[in-house]
Structure 1
Amino acid sequence: MAQKPSKKGFKVIAFYTAKNDQAHISYVHEANQWLPKAAKKYHFSYDSTANWNNMNPEFLAKYQVVIFLDTRPETPAQRLAFENYMKHGGSWIGFHFSAFALANSSYPDNWDWYHNDFLASGAYGSNTWRPTSAILKVENDKHPVTFQLPKIFKSSPNEWYRWQNDLRKNPDIDILLAIDSSSFPLGTGPKSHEIWHNGYYPVVWSNKKYKMVYVNMGHNDIDYDHKTNKDLSQTFENEIQNKMIINALLWLGERR
């Protein structure tokens, strides 16, 4: 289904909703400013849409890389179109909330292929709070996504997710970045369960059965305390993290 990149470069389409949580909305707006500049610099094209009905075979066939900036397809037709796109050679990168699924929420755990096969993470488990930077470690320095990254680096502030499934037990999953133990305690609370003191937490991974990358980053820090909703951090202000994202896009677009 997915076309091969032309000599002018590959084509990227980003889907987003930007309606839930000011921190996610802030990130989507930031991404839609940063990614077109990256596209110009690295010679690919970038389009974005908030119309999830564009998740259909005819529309997807125009693009080599699909991005989910915040949410996921919800209708059966949209989900089938995306699954077929990925099973027939399409590429995908998803950020942060795009992997979220929780029973009895607005984004229920009701898409088995996506959450348990494709992402393999299962449902959302918990998160840190407030959004804080973490020290990340490269788990696979042979992968194109981690090309020329330092072994350990500091991320932009983020709300970090824990998942239902242990990705280390899945032979199809290639964990690329994880939280380094030097990050602990991670989070500031105020609730005790929002502060992590130990454990293993993958934050970037790929599924060997598909051309895909999931990136847990995508939640800016926001001034909720004073009710100003002012941005307190930017995801794309981190050069090392940006290099990882560019590496991922160029790999997914099959640029060598």
Structure 2
Amino acid sequence: MHFLKKFLIGLFIAAISSLHLNAQQKPKFKVIAFYTAKSDQAHISFVHEANKWFPQLAYKYHFSYDSTSNWDNLNAAFLAKYQVVLFLDTRPEKSEQREAFQKYMANGGGWMGFHFSAFALSKSAYDTNWDWYHNIFLGSGGYASNTWRPTSAILRVENSKHPVTKNLPQTFKAQPNEWYRWQNDLRKNPDIHILLAIDSTSFPLGTGPKAHEIWHSGYYPVVWSNKNYKMVYVNMGHNDMDYEHKYDKTNKTLSFTFGNEVQNKMILNSLMWLGKGKKVK
């Protein structure tokens, strides 16, 4: 009888262990992050930070996280393995990569882009040559201007009913960032849901030294979604660096994007919402 009891207890423990192992082996959803990390030191710093932070988040909340700097992986066969795509710093440049991404999104894929992933400027290395992405998908159009130096801003929730802003305070202080202004007024786009914007208590925002790098008024969306896609754009993703000693090549990071509990909650909300999207065809 004693042997039978020990045997049954052993079976129970084995069953529980098996269930736990299976749960670990089957993530709720899979995330793939694309990045370049070659030019701006602040963007490189953010990419390295993201590729350390997201795996920790994935372990805690039971999803998987992979990353790649090979943008040729932006193809139908590769993307079919993942429910969510992240652009950490740049965007795809080849036509076949862009076509694959557009089809992925049209078929129900999830996407989150950070900071520079929305950048486009005529006659620059990131030209305004992808109309669908910048004007239809993001809705923002090209880059217009930015604040400088990277500075914290008070952000205001514009849509408290969206899953991305769930349980966020009405206003909160974000991490230091280079804040972007866009050519298009997103308030006039019926497809865009503005989720967070810079609160007026942030002004003046930026320290210069150039006068136009300091904002004193205006409306600036920083997180938004497009109702026709499972997507979120987040303007954050530019760490503050020791620019005064950049020629010493120390590249010291002075602030970290993921060093903010409320901001992190918004990013987690976004991922969990995107990961519940319909199955990609």
Count of residue pairs the alignment pairs up:
250
- C-alpha separation in 1, matches of 2:34 and 2:44: 13
- In the superposition, the TM-score normalised over structure 2's length comes to 0.88
- C-alpha separation in 2, matches of 1:98 and 1:20: 13
- C-alpha separation in 1, matches of 2:27 and 2:103: 26
In the TM superposition, what is the alpha-carbon distance from 1:20 to its structure 2 partner?
Answer: 1.5
- C-alpha separation in 1, matches of 2:200 and 2:151: 15
- In the superposition, the TM-score normalised over structure 1's length comes to 0.96
The match for 1:231 is 253
The match for 1:59 is 78
- C-alpha separation in 1, matches of 2:243 and 2:128: 28
Q: Which runs of 5+ in 2 are unaligned?
A: 1-24
Please say if 1:26 is aligned against 2:48.
no
How big is each residue's C-alpha offset from its partner over 1:23-80, in whole Å with a ceiling of 9 and x where there is no partner? Answer: 0000000000000000001110000000000000000000000000000000000000
The match for 1:209 is 228
How big is each residue's C-alpha offset from its partner over 1:116-172, in whole Å with a ceiling of 9 and x where there is no partner? Answer: 000000000000000000000000000000000000000000000000000000000
How big is each residue's C-alpha offset from its partner over 1:157-203, in whole Å with a ceiling of 9 and x where there is no partner? Answer: 00000000000000000000000000000000000000000000000
Among all aligned residue pairs of Structure 1 and Structure 2, give the percentage whose two residues are the same amino acid: 76
In the TM superposition, what is the alpha-carbon distance from 1:7 to its structure 2 partner?
Answer: 5.5
- CA RMSD, aligned part only? 1.0
Pick aligned residue for 2:150 from 127, 131, 134: 131
Please say if 1:80 is aligned against 2:80.
no
Q: Which runs of 5+ in 1 are unaligned?
A: 1-5
Alignment of 1:1-256 (within 5 A): 8-227=27-246, 228-254=250-276
Q: Could you tell me which amino acid in structure 2 is paired with residue 190 of structure 1?
A: P
- C-alpha separation in 1, matches of 2:235 and 2:252: 22
Aligned structure 1 segments of 4 or more residues deviating by more than 6 angstroms:
none
Q: Could you tell me which amino acid in structure 1 is paired with residue 36 of structure 2?
A: T
Give the SS at the match of 2:243.
Answer: coil
Give the SS at the match of 2:172.
Answer: strand
In the TM superposition, what is the alpha-carbon distance from 1:8 to its structure 2 partner?
Answer: 3.0
Change in Cα spacing, 1:7 to 1:229, as seen in structure 2 (3 Å) is closer
Change in Cα spacing, 1:191 to 1:9, as seen in structure 2 (3 Å) is same
Give the SS at the match of 1:18.
Answer: coil
